[in-house]
Structure 1
Amino acid sequence: MAAVYDLTREDLVLRTYLMDFDIAPKMVSFLDDKLYSDATNKTLIGIIRKFIRKYNRRPQAQELIVGLANSGLSETARQKLLAICNAEVPYMKQDYVITLLENFYQEKATENALRDAATALYDNDTEKIRDLLPVLRDRLNFSLHMGLGLDLVEDIEEAQRRLKEMSHPIRSAIGPINQYTAQVKTDPNSGGYPRKTMTLFVGQPNVGKSLVMGSDACNFIRYGYDVLYISLELSEEYVWRRLAANLTGVPQYEVADLSVDECRKLIENTKIPGVERLGRLKVIRMKTTTTPAEIEARVDQFYSIYKKNPDVLVVDYIGIMKPNRTHRTMESMYLDGQEKAEQIRELCIDRNMVGISAVQFNRSGYSRLDAGLESVSGSAGFAETADIMITITRDDLLKKQNMYANFVKKNRFGENEVMFYTKYDYNTMRWYDATTDDIAAYTDALTQAQIAAEATNGMNQNIRVGTGGGNRGGGAPRGQKLNDKQQAAVASMQSIYSQF
């Protein structure tokens, strides 16, 4: 059982103001010492107001702690502040905190207004009573207005803070993903997976969706980010084997033979120089009937242990889980898919996480390099909800080269309908950028396959294909003859290569 701490409502008000950056900008009305009955809390409110007057911004808890240590004020105030801002206090959901704060303000502010009204009645001051009526109404109807969004003028500071946070996404190991999501086009380091968003990878069964997500999860922890990996298919130990192979470089079927110390050392040595610590990567196996609410409970559990939310939530994979509420209508498949995606995405927004998951192509998208969102299996709601969607495709020649052709099919932060190549290694479960030589080897293999097919089948139709001798264009040499099927394949590849 998690520890429970003795905090009053007044203490929670101060804790929220100092530690919750989402709610704090809406709490100016709470900086009135008349709302508080605890003498020490009144002192802290006075110190906060003094800080704001001097520095024209909200204080951080640590700044007040340091200031109190050197202020000569009561040590009681400093100890009270340490207790209020104790990092061990378990996470409380925002909707509960908002309700508690609203009730506190409505109760305390209304009490003060009624007290002033009683004094005015005693003094027969009808003008003051009349002035107090709208004040009383406003205090009774007080709301933090968290659902009304950002005010264009009043919330400039908060909007800028959020934008600065969003401009530092969590980088992928794949260069083109970072390139096409760059928040600052002149800064190549500003791309990656933005927080409070959901990225979906799309591919046919057994193409390597889990490999892709697991490989980038390993990359995240090398940079110090914490990852919660929810597996709805493989057991925890099988997922662990894949992740350990990725980080150690030892083939996955041999990683269990490493000594504990050797395995730990190999993993810890992957930390990027300059990063304070290797991030945490927690793998949890959950049933395929799992709902977003049950995943949220696991995020809460992570918070209760580590006093922070994971930076990245990986759900492997969203296509087979259940929504919080299952529909029983003809359109249930669409609604279920949409609601699953929306509910996981909302969880990521609420907890400031990057969300990553996957869905499958239906049969119309199998082995098609140009498969699009119309081929997503289950529900168009996935495509409508996701912020970024990237396909994972390959033909027989790409498979022989251990390569994927990836398309960015949806992207709220940059270019759409752009293609890039990547490579994978099943032994170590790694996903990484394809080099120019890798791409050239594939297109050369495609050309040779077309020539061999021509020699075998005896083509009847002449077609001029390819550019630059067939390396970049992926076609056969000038004058070679292709059948209808091969012509269609070449046309598809030429369309793809035209983007380079």
Structure 2
Amino acid sequence: MLTSQGFTDTTTSGVVGQASDLQLMPHSIEAEQGLLGAVIIDPAQMLEVSYLTAKDFYLRNNGYLYDAMWTLFRKHNGYDYVTIVEYLNSSGHLDDVGGAGALSDLIATTPTSYGAPEYAAIVYRHSISRQVIDQCRKSTQEAYKNVTSRSGDVLVSDALQRLAGIDTTKNVSNGPQPISTGVNQLLDRMEAIEQTGQVAGLQTGIRKLDAILGGFGEQKFYLLAGRPGMGKSALALQIACNVAQKGSGVLIFSLEMTADEISARLMSSLCGVPYDTFNKGNVGDNWKVILNAGARIAELPLEIDATPALKISTIRSISQKAMLSNQIGLVIIDHVGIAKPERSGGNPYQNASDKADAIMALPKQLGCPVLALSQLSRDVESRADKRPQLHDLRDSGKWEENADAVIFLYRDEFYNDDTDLRNMAEISIRKNRGGKRGIASVYANVATNRFCDLVTERTAL
């Protein structure tokens, strides 16, 4: 029979714990040998289990045998007892698997090729468990060694990154598909959009904006920029409220405002009571609508972290932990200019560039869209037409280059008291990777922090 030498390439040892409490790493010898016997009898089964690698096997010799069969299958679209023995002999691993007799015994004790996919799933599940144990062990060792070299949030972030690096999706592929499958899926999605009138991405709740962007795409990065006082935070909170009302969780990092300030803005937008009323205390007859708005906001799946000047590694760590317990559909960062760089000193431009790279990597690391707010440079103020342009983005050209979409907010009444565009804002999409650009003209009441479609506001009035 095959020998039982532990295949430990993905782990640091074959046991867990102290000498007084030894525990074998998760594995199933029966599943490994059942799988190998099945694919020896029927090489076509290899197509069903090809997501496995030699390192997924607990026993090293089983890994050698699987690797031999997979290599022969890729080269010759098949194999048999003779070619397997020859390959193992030429690669120097025939004795490692117990010799030709071990293969004969394996074939003799495997009555059928049935069950190969099920055996493979068991092997893969145990492989994932061993990788998790190994990565947690590494994090434990780092924690013991860490005294003053790194902050706790970096330590936690590194631990989560190790776990996030484990590929748990290798066995979900359906393999190559004819192009007709993709065409049919596309047509089905288009038909669903046609019937529901809803965009495919995460809806912002502002229809003109959704019509241009197609909603917020999964794992996409969106930059919302404008000069101070334009209402960026109010617009972002309006989007957060709209998304949460549809049932998707939203995590807000407010690096400037406190949690109660954010709550006041959200409640002001919802009930129509001016924001400054919440600070002056002159509520009058508005108590009932304010309390009702507060109750509705409190029930929404919104989470707020109002810690000032967070590092991006900390934002990533907090987001990853939040996603373990909640369904987070959108992360908002307000704003990127006051997020701390990972390292102090050095070239300011390089620090800003590194920070931009770290922030724009978050959507793929977290698996959801990220909306980040940014200030524009003062150059806008020197122009007659103060509508923002891409070159007005501050600190780093990385934002313009790598953001999936760049969104500018402009209110003409901020600069012109006699404008005809009172209570209106232009949400300008100046960059939209893979989509169209355009301007969404919307209702904007800064006093109540409310942004919405013009039709919606007229209906409400």
Q: TM-score range by the shorter chain?
A: 0.5 to 0.7
1:204-251 deviation line (CA, Å, top 9, x unaligned): 112211111111111111100100000111112111211222234333
Q: What are structure 2's unaligned runs of at least 5 residues?
A: 1-6, 8-25, 37-43, 69-80, 98-126, 132-164, 194-198
Q: What secondary structure, in the 3-state scheme, does the structure 2 residue paired with 1:413 have?
A: coil
Percent of aligned pairs sharing the same letter: 20
Whether 2:386 is the aligned partner of 1:386: answer no
Q: What secondary structure, in the 3-state scheme, does the structure 2 residue paired with 1:409 have?
A: strand
Quote the offset at 1:155 in angstroms. Answer: 5.6
1:347-406 deviation line (CA, Å, top 9, x unaligned): 211222111012122112137443211111221111112111111123314597122223
User: Of 286, 302, 308, which residue of structure 1 is paired with 2:307?
Assistant: 286
What is the letter of the counterpart of residue 37 of structure 1?
S
Quote the offset at 1:341 in angstroms. Answer: 2.9
User: Of 210, 213, 232, which residue of structure 2 is paired with 1:178?
Assistant: 210
Aligned-residue RMSD, C-alpha:
5.1
User: Of 338, 359, 371, which residue of structure 2 is paired with 1:356?
Assistant: 371
Quote the offset at 1:291 in angstroms. Answer: 1.7
Structure 1 pair 263/405, CA: closer, same or farther in 2 (3 Å)?
closer
Q: What secondary structure, in the 3-state scheme, does the structure 2 residue paired with 1:311 have?
A: strand
User: Of 372, 376, 380, which residue of structure 1 is paired with 2:389?
Assistant: 372
Describe how 1:251-290 pairs up with structure 2 within 5 A. 251-254=274-277, 265-266=292-293, 279-288=300-309, 290=310
What is the letter of the counterpart of residue 371 of structure 2?
I
1:448-492 deviation line (CA, Å, top 9, x unaligned): xxxxxxxxxxxxxxxxxxxxxxxxxxxxxxxxxxxxxxxxxxxxx
What is the letter of the counterpart of residue 382 of structure 1?
W
Q: What secondary structure, in the 3-state scheme, does the structure 1 residue paired with 2:59 have?
A: helix
Whether 2:358 is the aligned partner of 1:343: answer yes
TM-score, normalised via structure 1 length: 0.52
1:286-344 deviation line (CA, Å, top 9, x unaligned): 222x22210011112313433x4x11000001122134345723xx41x3333323322
Contact 2:410 2:425 in 1 (8 A): yes
Contact 2:226 2:388 in 1 (8 A): no
Q: What secondary structure, in the 3-state scheme, does the structure 1 residue paired with 2:275 have?
A: coil
What is the letter of the counterpart of residue 169 of structure 1?
G
Measure the CA separation in 1 of the matches of 2:337 and 2:297: 32
Structure 1 pair 285/194, CA: closer, same or farther in 2 (3 Å)?
same
What is the letter of the counterpart of residue 370 of structure 1?
R
Quote the offset at 1:172 in angstroms. Answer: 1.6
Quote the offset at 1:263 in angstroms. Answer: 5.7
Structure 1 pair 156/435, CA: closer, same or farther in 2 (3 Å)?
same
Measure the CA separation in 1 of the matches of 2:82 and 2:54: 29
Q: What are structure 1's unaligned runs of at least 5 residues?
A: 1-8, 10-34, 46-52, 59-97, 118-124, 182-190, 272-277, 439-500
Contact 1:406 1:420 in 2 (8 A): yes
Whether 2:28 is the aligned partner of 1:37: answer yes
TM-score, normalised via structure 2 length: 0.56
Quote the offset at 1:254 in angstroms. Answer: 4.3
Per the alignment, residue 409 of structure 1 pairs with: 430
Per the alignment, residue 201 of structure 2 pairs with: 169
Measure the CA separation in 2 of the matches of 1:265 and 1:156: 52
What is the letter of the counterpart of residue 445 of structure 2?
D
Describe how 1:68-147 pairs up with structure 2 within 5 A. 105=56, 107-108=58-59, 110-113=61-64, 128-132=84-88
Structure 1 pair 263/112, CA: closer, same or farther in 2 (3 Å)?
same
Contact 1:391 1:409 in 2 (8 A): yes
Structure 1 pair 292/407, CA: closer, same or farther in 2 (3 Å)?
same
What is the letter of the counterpart of residue 206 of structure 2?
I
Contact 1:205 1:360 in 2 (8 A): yes
Quote the offset at 1:37 in angstroms. Answer: 1.8
Measure the CA separation in 1 of the matches of 2:86 and 2:32: 32
Q: Which moved more, 1:295-304 or 1:364-373?
A: 364-373
Q: Which moved more, 1:210-219 or 1:235-244?
A: 235-244
Contact 2:320 2:366 in 1 (8 A): no
Describe how 1:402-441 pairs up with structure 2 within 5 A. 402-416=423-437, 418-434=438-454
Structure 1 pair 44/302, CA: closer, same or farther in 2 (3 Å)?
farther
Q: What secondary structure, in the 3-state scheme, does the structure 2 residue paired with 1:382 have?
A: helix
Contact 2:244 2:250 in 1 (8 A): yes
1:424-451 deviation line (CA, Å, top 9, x unaligned): 223321111235999xxxxxxxxxxxxx
Contact 1:222 1:270 in 2 (8 A): no
What is the letter of the counterpart of residue 176 of structure 1?
K
User: Of 245, 249, 259, which residue of structure 2 is paired with 1:226?
Assistant: 249
Quote the offset at 1:409 in angstroms. Answer: 0.6
1:49-70 deviation line (CA, Å, top 9, x unaligned): xxxx9xx999xxxxxxxxxxxx
Structure 1 pair 162/336, CA: closer, same or farther in 2 (3 Å)?
farther
What is the letter of the counterpart of residue 295 of structure 1?
I
Per the alignment, residue 479 of structure 1 pairs with: none
Q: Which moved more, 1:107-116 or 1:315-324?
A: 107-116
Measure the CA separation in 2 of the matches of 1:357 and 1:300: 17
Contact 2:375 2:394 in 1 (8 A): yes
What is the letter of the counterpart of residue 366 of structure 2?
R
Contact 2:330 2:371 in 1 (8 A): yes
Measure the CA separation in 1 of the matches of 2:54 and 2:342: 29
Whether 2:274 is the aligned partner of 1:318: answer no
Quote the offset at 1:282 in angstroms. Answer: 0.7
